[in-house]
């Protein structure tokens, strides 16, 4: 009997987790209980256990439950064997060793800008993000790269979802496309500057962005232009190396 009850709980937990595929913006307890045909008390108890485990998070303001970072991290485990991560890991490690700052690989998954790989910087004071972290697509260096290089149909999806005012970004995105990198100065996180570059595959498709981020007090300051351009050159070279391993042969930035 106890074993049967355990199986029921596991099955209900699985049903709740799978329901987020249908409604990624989140569920309220009442709506989810009705959707699954379960008692509210059962759904409430399971959801709160999942919150404790980090698999689900609660938006207190909207009273909704959403996918948590741990669930995203589990999902991203699936990506551990794909060519992109195989091609990028050693390059990220090498880049971080050379520049001392954190290297981050992000990819658009379900119209969300997700950190899929990272190598932390070697400096005691450094910027760091966990795999599975969601970054905005309406600001920041990686967002600008995506908006500059995504195909029109996919770009429109992102613009519509985040209600991005392209009139304010159009000129900057043209520059990003021409020079191959985007810069952000404390746009996403206070005290953090970043530079992002695109990564392409053999089909000439943008598959990810490579970003270097670090404290603004040390990183990418106006007083050291030579170091700035050397840093940009290293990031572009790293992105080219990954893209070449992915089969992209038309790299035009340096």
pLDDT at 48 (0 to 100): 93
Is the pLDDT confidence value at 1 over 60?
A: no
* d(C-alpha 89, C-alpha 174), whole Å: 29
Q: What is the dihedral of CA 30, 34, 37, 40, to 10 degrees?
A: 10
pLDDT at 81 (0 to 100): 43
Rg of the chain over Cα atoms, rounded to whole angstroms, equals: 21
Looking at per-residue pLDDT, the higher value among 249 and 52 belongs to 52
pLDDT, tens digit, 9 for 90 and up, residues 172-217: 999 999 999 999 998 998 888 899 999 998 888 999 999 999 887 6
Q: What is the mean pLDDT of residues 210-225?
A: 72
Is the pLDDT confidence value at 223 over 60?
A: no
pLDDT at 126 (0 to 100): 83
Is the pLDDT confidence value at 168 over 90?
A: no
8 A C-beta contact, residue 142 and residue 211: yes
Is the pLDDT confidence value at 241 over 60?
A: yes
pTM: 0.68
* d(C-alpha 102, C-alpha 207), whole Å: 20
pLDDT, tens digit, 9 for 90 and up, residues 42-76: 999 999 999 999 899 999 988 999 988 888 777 66
Q: What are phi and psi of 115, to 5 degrees?
A: -75, 115
Confidence class for position 80, pLDDT limits 50, 70, 90: very low
pLDDT at 77 (0 to 100): 54
* d(C-alpha 101, C-alpha 95), whole Å: 8
Taken in order of first residue, the domains within the chain and their CATH numbers are 2-67 (1.10.10.10), 75-245 (3.30.450.40)
Q: What are phi and psi of 131, to 5 degrees?
A: -60, 140
pLDDT at 190 (0 to 100): 87
């Amino acid at each position: 009997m106890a074993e049967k009850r355990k199986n029921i709980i596991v099955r209900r937990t699985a049903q709740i987790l799978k329901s987020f595929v249908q409604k990624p913006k989140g569920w309220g307890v009442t709506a989810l209980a009705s959707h699954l045909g379960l008692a509210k008390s059962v759904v409430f108890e399971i959801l709160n256990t999942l919150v404790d485990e980090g698999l689900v998070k609660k938006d207190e303001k909207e009273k909704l439950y959403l996918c948590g970072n741990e669930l995203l991290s589990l999902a991203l485990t699936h990506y551990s064997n794909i060519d992109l991560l195989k091609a990028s890991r050693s390059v990220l490690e090498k880049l971080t060793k050379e520049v001392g700052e954190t290297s981050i690989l992000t990819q658009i998954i379900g119209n969300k800008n997700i950190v899929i790989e990272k190598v932390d910087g070697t400096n005691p004071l450094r910027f760091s993000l966990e795999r599975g972290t969601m970054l905005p697509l309406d600001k920041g260096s990686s967002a600008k790269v995506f908006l500059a290089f995504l195909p029109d149909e996919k770009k429109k999806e992102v613009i519509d979802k985040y209600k991005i005012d392209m009139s304010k970004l159009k000129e900057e995105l043209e520059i990003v496309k021409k020079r191959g990198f985007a810069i952000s100065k404390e746009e996403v996180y206070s005290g953090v500057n970043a530079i992002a570059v695109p990564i392409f595959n053999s089909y000439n498709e943008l598959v990810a962005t490579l970003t270097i981020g670090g404290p603004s007090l040390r990183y990418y300051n106006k007083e050291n232009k030579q170091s700035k351009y050397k840093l940009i050159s290293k990031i572009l070279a790293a992105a080219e190396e990954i893209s070449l391993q992915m089969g992209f042969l038309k790299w035009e930035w340096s």
